[in-house]
Structure 1
Amino acid sequence: MLTLTQALYDQIVEHARKDHPDEACGVVAGPAGTDRPERFVPMLNAARSPTFYEFDSKDLLKLYRELDDRDEEPVIVYHSHTATEAYPSRTDVTYANEPGAHYVLVSTADTDGLGEFQFRSYRIVEGVITEEEVQVVTGY
């Protein structure tokens, strides 16, 4: 199960909405070994595409140096889908290289008639996708 604060949830959704019609992407870092997302790190979609996201290699290198310096790890890796449901694509699975991370997908398309977006979380390990419950809390 992914547990995150309402503030982090709101920041991820806002980033997805702001970057629409392009896919948004980013990370929520947390203290190493805690599985507790704390620090919102929006990233630039270097692909600037409505169907694909790519972290800028310089930004990604900077992020990983920062994570090392702060004894953090990527707890959440998120991106948006602008025209499809919030479910990992084959490309998403290929790029899922953080086995301990929660992969959050936000759909800014109204694919289910239930509202403007979907917010879903998955574990992706060795190509296997497992959806998990999302619990939004006021604080830790």
Structure 2
Amino acid sequence: MLSIDRTTYDAIVAHAKRDHPDEACGIVAGPEGSDRPERHVEMVNAAGSPTFYEFDPTELLELYKQMWDNDEEPVVIYHSHTATEAYPSRTDIGLASEPGAHYVLVSTREHGNNEGPVEFRSYRIVDGEVSEEDVAVLDALP
């Protein structure tokens, strides 16, 4: 199960809506081994595409250096789908390289960047196997 605080949840949804019709992407880092998503980092979709996302390699390397320096790891890796459901595509599954991370997908297909709900789902992706997990949005992490 992914437990995430309301502020981080809202920030991920706002990022997905703001970048629509292009896919948004980012990472939520947390202390190594904690499974606590604490530091939300919006990333640039270097692909600038409504159907694909790609982290900018320089930006991603800088983030990993920061995480190493802070004894952090990527707890949540997220991106949005703008025209399809919040389920990992074959490309998403192939790119999933952090077996300990929660892969969050936010679908903005119904309302785009307008007011209205989004589809927010989380998965574990290990060795190409996708398992959906429950998401608990809390006022604050315990």
TM-score by length of 2: 0.95
Q: Distance in 1 between matches of 2:3 and 2:89?
A: 23
Structure 1 residue 109: deviation in Å?
Answer: 0.4
Separation in structure 2 between the aligned mates of residue 8 and residue 129 of structure 1, nearest angstrom: 23
Preserved contact between residue 75 and residue 101 of structure 1 (Cα < 8 Å): yes
Deviation at 1:139, TM superposition (A): 0.7
Instruction: Output aligned runs, 1:3-42, within 5 Å.
Output: 3-42=3-42
Question: CA deviation digits over 1:7-45, x for unaligned, max 9?
Answer: 000000000000000000000000000000000000000
Alignment of 1:106-125 (within 5 A): 106-110=106-110, 116-125=117-126
8 Å CA contact 1:77, 1:103 repeated in 2 = yes
User: How many residues align structurally?
Assistant: 137
| Residue number in structure 2 paired with 1:138 | 139
Q: Is the 8 A contact 1:109 1:116 kept in 2?
A: no
Structure 1: any 5+ residue segments left out of the alignment? none
Letter in 2 for 1:49: S
The CA deviation at 1:116 is 3.9
Measured in 1, the distance between the counterparts of 2:75 and 2:117 equals: 25
User: Over aligned residue pairs, what C-alpha RMSD do you find?
Assistant: 1.0
Unaligned runs of 5+ in 2: none
Q: Hey, what does 2:90 align to over in structure 1?
A: 90
Identity %: 65
